[in-house]
Amino acid sequence: NAGVTQTPKFRVLKTGQSMTLLCAQDMNHEYMYWYRQDPGMGLRLIHYSVGEGTTAKGEVPDGYNVSRLKKQNFLLGLESAAPSQTSVYFCASSLLRDTEAFFGQGTRLTVV
């Protein structure tokens, strides 16, 4: 019962470093999403994908890139990390547009 798995779970980066967050789902879902959650801000959509090979910008895409080369994987990249990107990142997937979104356990990222 893996569901949605995110790696890593914790990471500390120095300003300017790059990293990739991996999201994997084993439910054959079409839709995948990356959110960030900050105190008092709720979850905000960074990028999303409606199927293999497709990506689109969400509410706060600047500073991030994504790729969905395989249906089960959705990668979130930070090319040059900034302290403003310190946050908890959640990946989610859903079968269809209006069905339940399943979330990964989150990645706690600190940029110093």
Partner 1 sequence: RKEVEQDPGPFNVPEGATVAFNCTYSNSASQSFFWYRQDCRKEPKLLMSVYSSGNEDGRFTAQLNRASQYISLLIRDSKLSDSATYLCVVNMGNTGTASKLTFGTGTRLQVTL
- When binding is defined by CB under 8 A, the residue of 12, 27, 41, 82 that contacts partner 1 is 41
Size of the site for partner 1 (CB under 8 A): 23
Q: Is 10 in the site for partner 1 (CB under 8 A)?
A: no
Residue 20 tokens, joined:
């990739």
Pick the stretch among 7-15, 20-28, 36-44, 68-76 that binds partner 1 (CB under 8 A): 36-44
- How many residues are there in the chain? 112
Among residues 16, 21, 54, the alpha carbon closest in space to that of 36 is found at: 21
Before 8, cis peptide (omega within 30)?
yes
Distance CA 104, CA 91 (A): 5
Q: Which residues are near partner 1 by CB under 8 A?
A: 31, 33, 35, 40-45, 48, 50, 56, 58, 90, 94, 97-98, 100-101, 103-106
